[in-house]
Chains A and B, each alone.
Chain A
Amino acid sequence: MKPLTTEQIRAVIAKGKFRDNLFKAIGVFCLAFALLVIVALIADMLLKGAERFTLDFFLNFASRRATQAGILSAWVGSLLVMLVTALAAVPLGVAAGLYLEEYAKRNWITNIIEINVTNLAAVPSIVYGLLALGIFVYMFGFGQSILSAGLTLALLILPIIIVATREAIRAIPAMIREGSMAVGATRWQTCHYHIIPYAMPGILTGVIIGLARAIGETAPIITIGALTFIAFLPPVPFSEIDGGGSAGLFDWVMSPFTVMPIQIFNWTSRPDPAFEVNAAAAGFVLMVMVLSMNAVAIYLRYKMRKNIKW
């Protein structure tokens, strides 16, 4: 091969640079397209649903007449289900993460648990619904209740919280542990006074992301048979019940319920276009809930990355 002349080299470079620029344009286009779709999605729901953003919409039950229908039972249901989910998933997830990072010996049990957590994260959410249908609804007899739904979503987000906890703990340098142990603290005292507090921001991020995922989940809750038309609220503790007597402290967990995503699904599937407006408005509310939770978590994470210097 004869060495290339300067002109030939320049031609090769010009061609390469042209491809660079072409790719850059395609890259910007793809990125802009993905972002644009989201903007379109939010704008569409906001504009279409604008007429429903009244106090009544938040305070009315579902109704056959689109203009009178509201999301009261849906958002109350979502909040209560989230409460159960958080109460179940946070202690379990943090404890499991703590065990795997601080206690577990390198043996087959630990290996199985680790492989298991990784694989669970990839199981489709509807499969959790089937699990809950078989175990919580029928075997345990919890029925189609807030408890069943909350526990289902808790299992669904458990891997997220475990992984977040482990990552947060792993970021704590060994010297903290050694320092604590060196003054005679037991393993649990070390965890209690040092590891858990230091890992808290990371754990919190994982919890928020997990709950944001859970609040938007529809499929597993439909699978356990949540009702779509609920025109009442779960009993408030110690309130009077229609049939006489008063509700117990935990009666609400066994109550039938609906949640935001199911309400949206219900309205989206109706042929009457008037309900599209409701679906758009409810969808926008759900988006605001989920995106603000995620935004808080992402903000926390970026802040943490910048601030923590051991």
Chain B
Amino acid sequence: MQIHDTPTLKAEARNLNFYYGEVKALKSINMPIYDKKVTALIGPSGCGKSTYLRSFNRMHDLYPGNRYEGEIRFYPDNTNLLSPEVDPIEVRMRLGMVFQKPNPFPKTIYENVAYGLRVRGENNSRVLDDKVEQALRGAAIWDEVKDRLQEMAPNLSGGQQQRLCIARALATDPELLLFDEPTSALDPIATGAIEELVHELKKRVTILIVTHNMQQAARVSDYTAYMYLGELIEFGKTDEIFIKPQDKRTEDYITGRMG
């Protein structure tokens, strides 16, 4: 690949274990996330890729009985996101997340995008207007909704809803954007639009994306991690992973012999 490509670290999992009660769902994961790159997490259902993704913004803290071990270092300030001293709300304010199924709030389109800003105490309508427009443009949905900002968001189509959710995440300038199978509930055309968007977004923001679709991983990502049964089997540049995987299990998976 490009020779001048010397990526900087945005985050790094160090010896990360995770338990749902007694069940160990992640087994000593060590993995870098590079700044302004797209990293894809692939693997069969139940391999822990979503669990891993949701560790970054401490979503597991919402439910009782979950436990982390190890660290996720976040740069440039070198914070351990999983440290008990770090407030999960503060973590979530720095990261954005887009879910498997579009989950717009039962509010207007405008208020959906302004949500994160209002959470942060921003109520100045000029600032909000600006930010909402920027975010909607960033999510490539501005032209479709600019005349109907006061309509209820749940009335949008599925693909539009998902782009709205991306706009909602973008509005607060997240340092890392987490995508949890963002296209699994969408049709191919809407999926294409989201993929294009991801490509566009990586100029501004680091992206970690879980996908069950290997072609998608190959299309959108710079780095790919293959997970299996809670373990990180292989991590590398996407081209290398897909062309000559080092591990037999990765090869089996991407060639469709296992799934």
Chain A interfacial positions (CB closer than 8 Å to B): 1, 3-4, 6, 9-10, 12-13, 15-17
Contact = CB atoms under 8 A, between A and B. Distances in A.
A9 B90 contact: yes
Contact of B87 (A1, A13, A15): A13
Taking chain B's interface residues, is the majority helix, strand, or loop, or is none over half, making it mixed? helix
A1 B90 contact: no
B131 interface: yes
Given A1-B122, A3-B173, A9 B93 contact: yes
Nearest to B128: A1
A57 B179 CA distance: 72
Nearest to A15: B121
B207 to A, nearest CB: 19
Contact of B127 (A1, A6, A10): A1
A16 B118 CA distance: 12
B248 interface: no
Q: Would you list the 5 A-B pairs with minimal beta carbon distance, nearest first?
A: A1-B127, A12-B121, A13-B89, A12-B120, A9-B93
B90 A10 contact: yes
A4 B173 CA distance: 11
12 contacts: A1-B117, A1-B127, A1-B131, A3-B173, A6-B90, A9-B90, A12-B120, A13-B89, A13-B90, A13-B93, A15-B121, A17-B89
Contacts of A10: 87, 90
Nearest to A4: B120
Interface in B162-211: 173
Nearest to A14: B87
Nearest to B122: A1
Contacts of B131: 1
B19 to A, nearest CB: 26
Contacts of B120: 4, 9, 12
A252 to B, nearest CB: 58
A61 B119 CA distance: 67
Contacts of B89: 13, 16-17
B3 to A, nearest CB: 34
Contacts of B119: 12, 16
Given A1-B122, A10-B90, A12-B121, 6 more contacts: A3-B173, A9-B93, A10-B87, A12-B119, A13-B87, A13-B90
A6 B79 CA distance: 12
Contacts of A6: 90
A10 B79 CA distance: 15
Interface in B27-64: none
Contacts of A4: 120
A101 B93 CA distance: 50
A3 B127 CA distance: 12
Nearest to B94: A9
A6 B74 CA distance: 14
A18 to B, nearest CB: 13
A15 B127 CA distance: 22
A6 B87 CA distance: 12
Contacts of A13: 87, 89-90, 93
